Amino acid sequence: MPPERTPSGRRQPARRPPPRRRRRTQRRVPPFALAIIAIAVVVGIIALVARGGGDDPTASSATAEPVIPRVSEADIAAAAQQLSPRDQELVNIGQTGVSINRAGGNRKYVALTFDDGPGPDTPAILAELKKANVPATFFVIGRNVQANPEVFRQVVAAGHEVGVHTWNHPDMTTLKPAQQKAEIDNTAGEIVAVAGTAGRLFRAPYGAVDPTVLKGAENAKLLSVLWDVDTQDWMGPSPDQIVQAAVSGAQPGSIILMHDGPGNRASTVAAVPRIIKELRAKGFEFATVGDLVISDPPGADDMSSESRDTQR
Mean pLDDT of 196-204: 94
Pairing of strands 109-115, 255-259: parallel
Of residues 197 and 56, more confidence is placed in 197
Q: To the nearest whole number, what is the mean pLDDT of the chain?
A: 82
pLDDT of the residue at 84:
84
Q: Spell out the domain ranges in the chain.
A: 85-303
Q: Does residue 57 have a cis peptide bond before it, meaning omega lies within 30 degrees of 0?
A: no
Q: What is the mean pLDDT of residues 254-280?
A: 97
φ/ψ of 224, rounded to 5, equals -80, 125
Nearest to residue 83, comparing CAs of 180, 223, 195? 223
291 is catalytic: no
* pLDDT tens track for 70-129: 556 666 666 656 778 888 888 888 768 899 999 999 999 999 999 999 999 999 999 999
Is pLDDT larger for residue 47 or for residue 167?
167
Task: Inform me whether the pLDDT recorded for 32 exceeds 90.
Answer: no
pLDDT of residue 91: 81
Nearest to 139 by CA among 268, 265, 258: 258
Vertex 147 angle, CA 216 and 186, to 5°: 20
Active site residue 115: yes
pLDDT one-digit tens code per residue, 215-229: 999 999 999 999 999
Could you say which of 233, 259, 291, 296 is catalytic? 259
Taking the alpha carbons of 280, 282, 283, 287 in that order, is the dihedral positive or negative? Answer: negative
What pLDDT is attached to residue 218?
92
Q: Provide the CATH topology of domain 85-303.
A: TIM Barrel (3.20.20)
Q: What angle do CA 197, 200, 203 make, to 5 degrees?
A: 120
* pLDDT in the model for residue 78: 67
Instruction: Write down the catalytic residue from 115, 116, 230, 291.
Output: 115
Residue 18 has pLDDT above 50, yes or no: no
Question: What does DSSP say about strands 303-304 and 99-100: parallel, antiparallel, or unpaired?
Answer: antiparallel
